[in-house]
Structure 1
Amino acid sequence: MSGLLAYAVLASLFIFAIAMGLALIRVFRGPSAQDRVLALDYLYILGMLMMLVLGIRYASDTYFEGALLIALFGFVGSFALAKFLLRGEVIE
């Protein structure tokens, strides 16, 4: 890995970590349930992006598979939470 790519990976991981901290603040202090759900959605997206960057850094396919699983489960979880907030029940 070249020096520039190594610095870019470290910088992006640092920025993603800061964004995760800000999203956690929104999860705990969100004024409404919808804000909390959006913050959780943002957290899983940031987690997926961090896994992708780590996959680039370590040149491992395992990180990419983990990112795919995070994306799938995050989408299903967001859908279930949105449906619960809309109707008050997940399973009809």
Structure 2
Amino acid sequence: MALLVSMLIAFVRLVRGPSLADRIVALDLLTLLAVSVIAVFTIREDQPAFLDAAIALGLVAFLGTVAYARFLERRGRHDSGVEEPRA
């Protein structure tokens, strides 16, 4: 029950923001909580195959967070000499 309440709070932060960094952290937290839910389900149902899915989701979430962080880092640089496209 606590995991679901935590997921709801993280989802509210994901929707409301206020900044892109807040949304990225909220998305990372949501995936961490999803891994936790899968792990609890795995233990409860005694099905170790689901643990592989939790590990895969954790790895994908980690790589996604690193990619977002690199995106934010590059977006913040203005002295690289490369002109950034304007949207």
Specify if TM > 0.5: yes
Identify the residue that residue 74 of structure 2 maps to in structure 1. 87
Q: Which amino acid aligns with 1:62?
A: A
Ranges of 4+ aligned residues in structure 1 off by more than 2 Å: none
Which position in structure 1 is the counterpart of 2:27? 40
RMSD: 0.7
Residue 74, structure 1, aligned to residue 82, structure 2: no
Identity, in percent, stands at: 35
Q: Gapped runs of 5+ residues in structure 1?
A: 1-13
Q: Which of structures 1 and 2 has the bigger CA Rg?
A: 2
> Per-residue CA shift, 1:16-73, capped at 9, x if unaligned?
0110010000000011000000001101100001100000000001211111001110
Between the two proteins, the alignment pairs up a number of residues equal to 75
Corresponding residue number in structure 2 for 1:17:
4
